[in-house]
Amino acid sequence: MAGTILVLVLVAVLVCMRRQRPGPERSRVVVNPLSAPPQQEQAQALVAALAQSDTALLWSALDSADSPLPPPPVVEGPGVAQARARLQAGALSGQALPRRPQLLPQLMMALNDPASTASKLAGIIGQDPVLAATLMRIANSAAHRRRLQPLESLERVVVKVGHEGLERLLSSALVQPVLALEERELRGFASILWRHGRLASAAAADHARIVERIDPLPLQLGSLLPALSCLLVLRALPALADQPLDAGERLQLLLASQYRVAAEISRRWELPETLAQALEGTPGQTHGALQFGRRMAWAWMQVEDGVLDQDQARQALSALASPHAVDWVWQRLRIIQDNS
């Protein structure tokens, strides 16, 4: 019982306060000065808190971090039940979901072909002017380069960032336009989930590559889909529920629907079926990489925001993978962040 209470307290204090960050990534969660539990019990609580990281992330992104995390409802409220029923009836399916990027099959095939040259990859990307422009903008943004001279051609981008870097950039370029929002009230939510999604994408792909020994590219894309699905659900709320939902109800709805909607997007985009099944919770290598990436991303954000100590976070993550794998992926994230 004491351990359960400790986990709930830890998750609550990790989302209890929000401070403004410079720029769009403004979420900062600060732990209150509570008495520290014994070291072993604290480590166990951190491991359990990782399992609740989706709750903490969404509560913070819902602009509710100044409010106490609500307890799980004993009975689903009528508004949430209505919204879930409409989702299950297809309110967000088929044409209501974003269309598959036209060049996605060609790009995935080319990226998995060791014989693909920079010229060939640039030629495929160049067939879609919007994708090409988005990729060039991301590659030349402050978030992805520290060089003085801009990259002026697609082929130069491919050569400069390398194969793995191109996978990361393309995943962002394919999904980011769908996340572009006109609704001012959702921009903060989108920026927090996009920050988490990009970290999760890199961590899941590395875990897939070095631990699971499976194709990392679907994980690059798949790790961004829960963020996309949450935004689609929030955008559709007026059609899903007749009465406005409060923050706790929105949290409940997102937790119940984000992976199911993400799996529908994955199938609509004709990504591997193993990815859709992993998003739905089917155990396996893809699911393991996906969950590892999401939890490492959340832990990284807590360390970056000064909430957790790096050693604490890495120790907790060692419950999901070997300490060697955790350290390797953590260092890879650091390199990616330092080079961005």
CA 149, 150, 155, 160 torsion-angle sign: positive
Asked whether 28 and 18 are in contact (CB, 8 A), the reply is: yes
Say which DSSP state 216 is in.
S
Helix (H) or strand (E) holding 205: helix 184-207
Note the helical H segments in 20-77: 39-51, 53-61
3-state secondary structure of 25: coil
Q: At what angle do helices 247-268 and 53-61 cross, to 10 degrees?
A: 110
0.75 exceeded by pTM: yes
Mean pLDDT of the chain: 82
Q: What are phi and psi of 29, to 5 degrees?
A: -110, 130
Asked whether 247 and 79 are in contact (CB, 8 A), the reply is: no
How far is it, in rounded angstroms, from Cα 37 to Cα 39? 6
Say which DSSP state 281 is in.
T
How far is it, in rounded angstroms, from Cα 155 to Cα 236? 39
pLDDT bracket for residue 325 (50, 70, 90): very high
pLDDT bracket for residue 227 (50, 70, 90): very high
- pLDDT (tens digit per residue) in 97-128: 888 888 888 988 888 888 889 999 999 999 98
- pLDDT (tens digit per residue) in 22-51: 444 434 444 443 344 566 677 778 888 888
Sequence length of the chain is: 340
Q: What is the CATH number of domain 78-338?
A: 1.10.3210.10
Q: Give me the residue spans of the domains in the chain.
A: 2-61, 78-338
3-state secondary structure of 18: strand
How far is it, in rounded angstroms, from Cα 208 to Cα 29? 29
- pLDDT (tens digit per residue) in 142-192: 555 555 577 888 998 888 878 778 888 888 777 876 666 556 668 888 889
